[in-house]
Amino acid sequence: MTSFKKTALSIALFIGLNSQTALAQAISKTEKQQVIDKVSELMSEYYVYPEVATKTNEKLKLAFKQGEFMAHTDSEEFAKALSIWLKETAEDRHLRVRANPVNQEVKGAESRLRDSLLNPPRFGSQNKGVVAAKVLENNIGYMDLRGFYRLIESQPYIDSAMKLLANTDAIIIDLRKNGGGSPRTVQYLCSYFFDKKLLLNSLYYREDNETIDYYVLDEVAGEKLPDVPLYVLTSNRTASAAEEFSYNMQTRKRATLVGETTRGAANPGGMFTINDNFRMFVATGAAINPITKTNWETVGVVPHVATKKDQALDKAIELASIEVEKNWQTLKAEREQPLDKLLSILNDAKQSKKSLTDIRQSYQQQTKALINALNLSDEELAELAYESWETSPKYAVFLFEIAVTFNEQELYLYEYWARALARLDQLNEAKTVINIGLSKVKSEEHKTMLKDALTEITVSKNML
């Protein structure tokens, strides 16, 4: 098996889970025997656990000899019955046999290619699984993800969704209709929610006795959100890579899972050809979680909060709203004292009869420290200064000087800082501020506006 094959394993699973249903075709006992012989051969050669393959093959040979599958006379029903038997006997939810479509002369991959190109695309496939990203009431972010497509294709869509959700107070990731996909994409989305280099999951492959480790990535294209409350919605349709994401978050105690127990398909693998009419998904590897030292095969991922899948979103919103309110009350309590102190200092600065230089020396250091502690934006600080540039220009200059240190490219800060200086009859200093602004702002339109402001200030002062 090549490295490309290993890369494509989980993607083959995702495609297989969403393939179209085959048409019925009669099948003889001899053809069934040929299929079972090939299934046994593939199990012996590729299945991740050789001892399980051996026992399963022995039981399959005996079961067929005793008349198992005789009642199923068409290819589709036979494939379904054989899949159920394999899953139950080997205790592996990934094992399955599929009947190829028979409505075209070409078979196998060529037929599936025709189906892919000549039928309407699956819902969400054109957005690589990201079918919704929005902000709900109480500033709760929501992403509906219907598959973990290849990272090279899906990353732009995931990044766009995460950019939209970056400033929310809680996030819900909906995996209720997610059948799996690429472990690399799971790794990437997980990395948005951790800031430490943790081992998320490992995949062991029988071939070459190889184990691939998936760590939290140091960087993602957007902002990392290691502290945002996170909720993951699950259902009995949540499978494979979607279960890995859920399990990673659960074992690392990073998210609250809400919904139903997942399908229980942990072992990655790929599609193999049986003959022109049948193909088989064989699990060639196994997931190994670093915390539990096992995985979710057959048992599924059990959510923290069990509820019917149709009620999972409402329940998660309820839980998230409670958490958002609790966090807000905590933040409010933390802000009250420093905010009162900041406003007191600013009032002293506003009422001070000292020179501007003395006001800077007396109040600037404390003011900056409190602004940082409160995480105020330059806009919030400038609002106070903007309100006072006509009535208390010295105070406004003091505030604009500080505001500019938080955002050097905002033109209006320089404009009104200069206007406040002009009111203090410090025209040369006003010109200097405008020139500083011209060296900082990037937009030519904004530079023109600053030049116009300087002309207006100069004309107004000369007319006095």
Specify the pTM: 0.81
Q: What are the extents of the domains in the chain?
A: 19-116, 125-271+280-321, 332-462
Per-residue pLDDT at 389: 83
Per-residue pLDDT at 463: 52
Taking the CA atoms of residue 438, residue 439, residue 443 and residue 448 in that order, the dihedral angle to the nearest 10 degrees is 20
Q: How far apart are CA 34 and CA 110, in angstroms?
A: 22
* Topology of the domain comprising 125-271+280-321: 2-enoyl-CoA Hydratase; Chain A, domain 1 (3.90.226)
Query: How many C-beta neighbours within 10 Å does residue 373 have?
Result: 15
The sign of the CA dihedral 195, 197, 203, 208 is positive
Per-residue pLDDT of the chain (464 residues; tens, 9 = 90+): 444 345 444 434 443 444 444 456 889 999 999 999 999 999 999 999 999 999 999 999 999 999 999 999 899 999 999 999 999 999 998 899 999 865 544 455 666 676 667 777 777 677 899 999 999 999 999 999 999 999 999 999 999 999 999 999 999 999 999 999 999 999 999 999 999 999 999 999 998 899 999 999 999 999 999 999 999 999 999 999 999 999 999 999 999 999 999 999 999 988 999 998 899 999 999 999 999 999 999 999 999 999 999 999 999 999 999 999 999 999 999 999 999 999 999 999 999 999 999 999 999 999 999 999 999 988 898 899 988 888 899 999 999 999 998 888 888 899 999 999 999 999 999 999 999 999 999 899 999 999 999 999 888 766 54
Please say whether the beta carbons of 57 and 40 come within 8 A. yes
Per-residue pLDDT at 459: 84
DSSP string, 109-162: HHHHHHHHHHSPPPTTGGGTTEEEEEEEGGGEEEEEE--B--HHHHHHHHHHHH
The CA angle 20-26-31, to the nearest 5 degrees, is 100
Please say whether the beta carbons of 283 and 276 come within 8 A. no
Distances (CA, A) of 391 to 68, 277, 350, 357, 361: 93, 86, 10, 19, 22
| CA contacts within 13 A on the Cβ side of 288 | 12
Q: Residue written as tokens 């806009």?
A: 379
Class of domain 332-462: mainly alpha
Q: How far apart are CA 443 and CA 206, in angstroms?
A: 58
Per-residue pLDDT at 281: 93
Q: Name the DSSP class of 181.
A: B
DSSP string, 8-65: HHHHHHHHHHTPPPPPP-B--HHHHHHHHHHHHHHHHHH-S-HHHHHHHHHHHHHHHH
Query: How many C-beta neighbours within 10 Å does residue 459 have?
Result: 9
Query: Closest Cα to residue 297, out of 256, 269, 255?
Result: 269
| CA contacts within 13 A on the Cβ side of 256 | 20
